[in-house]
Amino acid sequence: MTQENKKSKMKNGIAAAAMISSMIGVLSLSISHTLSVLSQESKMMIHEIGKAWIPGAEAIGPYSGKETIMLIGWGVSWIILHYVLRNRDVKLSYYTIVFMIGVGIAILLVWTPFVHLITNQT
């Protein structure tokens, strides 16, 4: 098999799905964190999600729910994107840029001074 054949045999959509789903996972985490800062009701609801399955979730608070939301966001989006993109050859550079921007936003959304700025908290 030639080098070019090896390259063209497998579509890169599967790689794009894996990359973008990991970004969705960290964005799910950071958005759930921002929501938990926004209101007490959200925080309690997120904690309930964690308490549903994580042992000792009572002691670690809403963090357990945020972990759960990250895993769900990551896992579900990976399954969906995998089946949507698996037979496609995509422009992976665009997906890489989207990944970088998404992870950058996720980092900002777990940085307390930025979260306080956008939620009007001092």
Partner 1 sequence: MSIPTHKKNLLKNSVIAAWVILTVFLGFVLGFSAPWQELMGDSPFSSLATIHGIFATLGVIFGSAAGYLGWRLLLGHLRAYRDLRILSTISSVLAVLAIVTGNWIYTAYRGPGGPREFFMSTFPEIHEVFFEFKEHISLFPLPIAIAATFILWKYKDAIPFDERLRNALGVMIATAWTVLMITFVLGAAITKLMAV
CA geometry: angle 74, 66, 94, nearest 5 deg: 35
Residue 56 binding partner 1, by CB under 8 A: yes
Tell me, residue by residue from 27 to 46, as one string, x for binding to partner 1 by CB under 8 A and - for no binding: --xx--x-------------
Any idea what DSSP says for residue 2? -
Residue 120 binding partner 1, by CB under 8 A: no
Give CA–CA dist 108/97, Å, rounded: 17
HEC per residue, 31-86:
HHHHHHHHCHHHHHHHHHHHHCCCCCHHHHCCHHHHHHHHHHHHHHHHHHHHHHHC
Residues in 88-107 at the binding interface with partner 1, rule: CB under 8 A: 91-93, 95-96, 99-100, 103, 106-107
Residue 26 binding partner 1, by CB under 8 A: yes
Contacts with partner 1 by CB under 8 A lie at 3-4, 6-7, 9-10, 12, 14-16, 18-19, 21-22, 25-26, 29-30, 33, 54, 56, 59-61, 63-64, 66-67, 70, 74, 78, 91-93, 95-96, 99-100, 103, 106-107, 110-113
